[in-house]
Amino acid sequence: MIDWKRVDELREEIGADGFAEVAGMFLEEAEGAVRALLEGVPEDEVGAQLHFLKGSALNLGLRDLAVICQEGERRAAAGDGALVDVAQVASVYRASRAGLLDGMSADRAGAA
């Protein structure tokens, strides 16, 4: 679900505080994108929301979320944005979010 090697690489690149800030910003913005998808954005905006989620997920090592967003983005690009299972995207996002937060908590506990 989470590419912890990517998480560690990013943390090394920007530092633990920088990583926590980036992760927090992503989660806040991703929450808004997922909420928008669930509430129903125009079909021509589905791909853009999924593209944002995919790119951010890849940067943070959220592999499963990136994969599901990429599949939905392809579907939207083919004109089938209304057929994207946004509930599944939301479910994978929530699981990824929980895993990332759990991992970050474990890292902080280990550093204390």
The CATH number given to whatever domain includes residue 59 is: 1.20.120
What residue numbers bound the domain in which 32 lies?
4-111
Residue carrying the six token digits 């940067």: 59
pLDDT at position 69 = 97
pLDDT at position 103 = 86
Greatest extent of the chain over all pairs of C-alpha atoms, in Å: 50
Q: Which residues have C-beta within 8 Å of that of residue 77, sequence separation ≥ 6?
A: 47
* Between 106 and 1, the higher pLDDT residue: 1
Structural domains counted in the chain = 1
How many whole angstroms separate alpha carbon 84 and alpha carbon 16? 35
- Token pair, residue 100, equals 């990332």
**Mean pLDDT to the nearest integer, 36-54:** 94
pLDDT at position 108 = 53
Nearest Cα to Cα of residue 68 among 60, 59, 57: 57
- Tens digits of per-residue pLDDT, 55-87? 999 989 999 999 999 999 999 999 998 899 999
**Mean pLDDT to the nearest integer, 22-38:** 93
Q: What DSSP state is assigned to residue 81?
A: G
Give the count of beta carbons closer than 10 Å to the beta carbon of residue 103.
Answer: 15
pLDDT at position 57 = 94
- Token pair, residue 77, equals 């690009």
Mean per-residue pLDDT over the chain, rounded: 91
Taking 70 as the threshold, does the pLDDT of residue 112 lie above it? no
- Token pair, residue 1, equals 């679900």
Q: Quick check: 90 and 63 in contact, CB under 8 A?
A: no
